[in-house]
Amino acid sequence: MTGAYAMLYREMDRAQLDAAYNNTAAVPERDAIVADWATRSARVRREYAGQLDLPYGDTARQRLDLFLAADPQAPTLAFIHGGYWQINDLVKESFAFFAEGLLPLGINLSVIEYTLAPAARLDRIVAEVRRSARWLAEHLGEYGADPTRIYVAGHSAGGHLTAMTMPLPEVRSGIAISGIYDLEPIRLNYLNEKLALDTAEAERNSPVRHLPVTAGELVVAYGTRELPELCRQSTEYARRWTEQGLPGHLLPVDGADHFTILDSLARADGALTRALLAMLGR
């Protein structure tokens, strides 16, 4: 078959493949959920004396925010936001709300920003996020935090970027949430209009194709109400990870969709918070 209806990936044509990765269309409440994140985050940024816009690189978006627990010697969770690696309404300022749950548990929060497509190719985005992790290891001590206890979590595109940080010695463990681990379907669908991935760049930035020899524990989480392709990406990556003999496991979050899943990291009793506490040995 040829033309617009040709099968591109896993027996899907272009229209089906676009829909298979369109999380916004799949969750009608998406805009209200994101607006609530922004409102809660603005309150956190007013009420907590965070270290804001710390530069980990030379360009405008190579910045991170740091919110310290009462005892800053606590472990630090570095959170990487999503948004399919490209310019939209998701920025680091919208994710300070995780501090509501993490700081009272004695966990520092850092929220990472990075350059977005089309201003940056994915190779550069990955390099920037890795640089942010190294920066934390080099500089957390200046803020009274423990630079040897860095944990990384990320959502959607940030789940992919979390996986890409796992080989770093600076990263103790990670939680990859609703991520994309094989970029081939992204190269073939609407998202590539801004990303401009070619076959080689998609291959070298697909975590499922480049499992590390050694790494810390990785929890691969997804919501059971997510799009089938998002569920498949997580289950297949977790399977490959554990078959490689690497520490970690798959964590389906019951009843969560692509956006409500983050509630389970914002609440002290949430499934993702419990997974983080287990990593910390609590």
pLDDT per position as a tens digit, 27-61? 999 999 999 999 999 999 999 989 999 999 999 99
Domains and CATH numbers, the chain: 14-279 (3.40.50.1820)
Q: How many CA atoms lie within 13 A of 34 on its CB side?
A: 17
pLDDT per position as a tens digit, 253-265? 999 999 999 999 9
Q: Which residue, chain included where needed, has tokens 């920037």?
A: 128
Separation CA 137–CA 126 (nearest Å): 17
Question: Residue 13 to residues 7, 10, 107, 203: CA-CA distances in angstroms?
Answer: 4, 9, 45, 21
Provide, rounded to the nearest whole percent, the portion of the chain with pLDDT above 70. 98
Taking the model in full, what pTM does it have?
0.96
Q: How many CA atoms lie within 13 A of 256 on its CB side?
A: 23
